[in-house]
Structure 1
Amino acid sequence: MCLMCCSSKAIEVLDTSYLHVNYEAKLKMNKEKKHINRNVVLEIGKDVSVCYDSKFRQFIALDDSLKMVRASVGEWIRTMENNGTLGRTVSFAVYKHLPAMNELTYTDEIFRYLYYYEQELPAIDWQMQNADSVVCGYSCSKAVGEWRGRRWTVWYSMDIPIDDGPWKLQGLPGLILHAEDAQGDFFFTCVGIEEKRSPIILWGDHMRKCTPEWFQREITEFWKDQSGYVSFRNGMPKPDYSNTDFRPQSFTPCLMENYE
């Protein structure tokens, strides 16, 4: 696992949102664990949109402020615990139309190391279905599409003619208000939409640039052996697992997309 080149990306304002879409997300991050519930927000601006877990955004803001005052490890832990941001597990953010139109920037973390990569927006071959429903009070149509090893079913509303949706999903003539994959690992359901103007910010300082394939391999290695991974990243010898009582549990990540 070789480290990719580093790049310092200070917090910067990219656009101004005019719409905030709140999704109730049910995510299974590892095959061996249960689903976790999160509030995922999609901020839509004139040129750029961003989708992120609101709890992790709070974590990043707190972490930045604690770094500025050079808080001790104990102070850092207490502050995170008091704000309910210590046990975060969903750290992705997806910026659509960044760095250019029809491209996206994906940011994520692995054990407090922040990474980002850039790629083209998914070209999902959506198949329109003869079905309708109502999500969050909006009339919706159904579409099904496959993308990198997952089959997604979505409900989108042409009452909101915006080509966007949760995570990397997009490419339809209306905003995606519900999405789920065929394996039942990931669900996003809109629970509220509000007109709201606020700066769309690129969060994360000193992020390391990588590729999607590299990040997938790295996150897989992390979940296989978290203690060994942390030791490796800090230049320490791999832990001695001769005593199996102390061997960490190995997990298999439920990757939203498969690059292999």
Structure 2
Amino acid sequence: MKKLGIIALALFMQTAFAQANRFVYQVTMKPDASNKNDIKTENAYLDISAEKSLFYSENRVKRDSIMQKAFQGGGGRGSFNRDQMESLRSNINYSIEKDKENQKTIYKDRLGRDIYVYEEDRPINWKISSETTKIGDYKVQKAETDFGGRKWTVWFTTDLPYQDGPYKFSGLPGLVVKAEDDKGDYSFDLMKNYKIAEIPALNQFGTVIKVKRADFVKQQEKFKTDPMSFMNQGGGGGIGAPMRIGGGGGGNQNPGDMRKRMEERVKDEAKRNSNPIEIQ
């Protein structure tokens, strides 16, 4: 009995140590530069463990789950409920992992069929103010930075034992509770937090391509003007194609019409995302 008790305690300690914390942020965005009245709001998760953190869209997880079930069932793209997938569209199509041990910030985003990955090469230089206030239950302190072509004001708290934040924000002596750029185009507001068993592994449909950040920016611009060149990479219609672009109909559609419709949709999406979070 004593041995069983020791084993149970060890398992409990192992489980407790393996836990991660999930911080839910409300992200408010004005992604269309030609229509600042078009305000998008969605939730994103910042999952933090002892080794790393991961920032990603809540809708991304829900879409991944639907896609995974469809492919496991052998249905492919045509088996998706198109209305359900459309309701889970996200303006946060990237994910950001912060490797605590190696002090690296890894950005992942899809262009066409492939996942592009780069390591952030710009440090975030914070100017910490003595100004404090209270947001919700937390006493917070003000900090400012210029990053990605925007001036950011953030409020961080030392009430929680984390030095992290949404998006690429890190390096402060506390957790970011609120962040907003000076134009009011983007803001992140901490809504709640709770424990989870572990940080989930996000589905990676398509080939992972590691590049320098500057090369990713070039590829991103090319994708906006010639999206079909990215769709054709890797050959036939595998699961790497972004599901939000393809049609939901049967297999008798004219390939030329499908190609044109897909191209128009990608270009329309590029226009609706003409005010990105990083502008340089």
TM range (shorter): 0.7 to 0.9
Q: Which runs of 5+ in 2 are unaligned?
A: 1-16, 234-254
Partner of 2:223: 222
Counterpart for residue 255 of structure 1:
276
Structure 1 residue matching 2:118: 3-state secondary structure: strand
- In percent, how many aligned pairs have the same letter? 22
Partner residue, 2:238: none
Query: What's 1:140 paired with?
Result: 140
What corresponds to 1:75 in structure 2? Answer: 79
**1:49/1:17 Cα in 2 relative to 1: closer, same or farther (>3 Å)?**
farther
Tell me by how many angstroms 1:112 deviates. 5.0
- SS in structure 2 opposite 1:91? coil
User: Which range is displaced more, 61-70 or 250-259?
Assistant: 250-259
Higher Cα Rg, which structure = 2
Name the residue aligned to 1:213: 214
Which structure 1 residue ranges, 5 or more long, are not aligned?
1-14
CA contact (8 A) 2:46 2:55 kept: yes
User: Alpha-carbon deviation of 1:212?
Assistant: 1.8
SS at match of 1:198: coil
CA contact (8 A) 1:180 1:187 kept: yes
Distance apart, 1:221 and its partner CA: 3.5
2:107 corresponds in structure 1 to: 106
Q: Give the equivalent residue in structure 2 for 1:25.
A: 27
Higher relative contact order (CA 8 A, sep 6+): 1
Report the secondary structure of 2:120's partner residue: strand
Structure 2 counterpart of 1:47, from 42, 48, 51: 51
How far the C-alpha of 1:232 sits from its partner, in A, is: 5.6
CA contact (8 A) 2:23 2:193 kept: yes
Does residue 197 in structure 1 map to residue 197 in structure 2?
A: yes
Higher percent of residues as helix = 2
How many aligned residue pairs are there? 233
Q: Deviations over 1:215-243 (max 9, x none)?
A: 223333434x4xx4136632799x89xxx
What is the CA–CA distance in structure 2 between the aligned matches of 1:53 and 1:88, rounded to whole Å? 7
State the TM-score, normalized to the length of structure 1: 0.77
Over 3 Å counting, the alpha-carbon distance change for 1:87 and 1:18 in structure 2 is closer
Corresponding residue number in structure 2 for 1:186: 186
Higher alpha-carbon deviation: 192-201 or 20-29: 192-201
Contact 1:56–1:85 (Cα < 8 Å) also in 2: no
* 1:131-185 deviation per Cα after TM superposition (whole angstroms, max 9, x unaligned): 2222231110000011232211000001113110001001111100100112222
Which of 231, 234, 259 lines up with 1:233 in the alignment? Answer: 231
2:31 counterpart SS class: coil
- If each structure's strand is expressed as a fraction of its own residues, which one has the higher value? 1
Partner deviation per Cα, 1:188-225 (whole Å, 9 max, x = no partner):
000112233323425414322233222223333434x4
The answer to whether residue 66 in structure 2 is matched with residue 62 in structure 1 is yes
Q: CA deviation at 1:253?
A: 2.9
1:208 match: secondary structure: strand
CA deviation vs aligned residue, 1:104-144 (integer Å, no higher than 9, x gap): 22111234532222235x52221122322222311100000
Contact kept, 8 Å, 1:58 with 1:85, in 2: the verdict is: no
Q: Runs of at least 4 residues of structure 1 off by over 6 A?
A: none
**TM-score between both structures, scaled by the size of structure 2:** 0.72
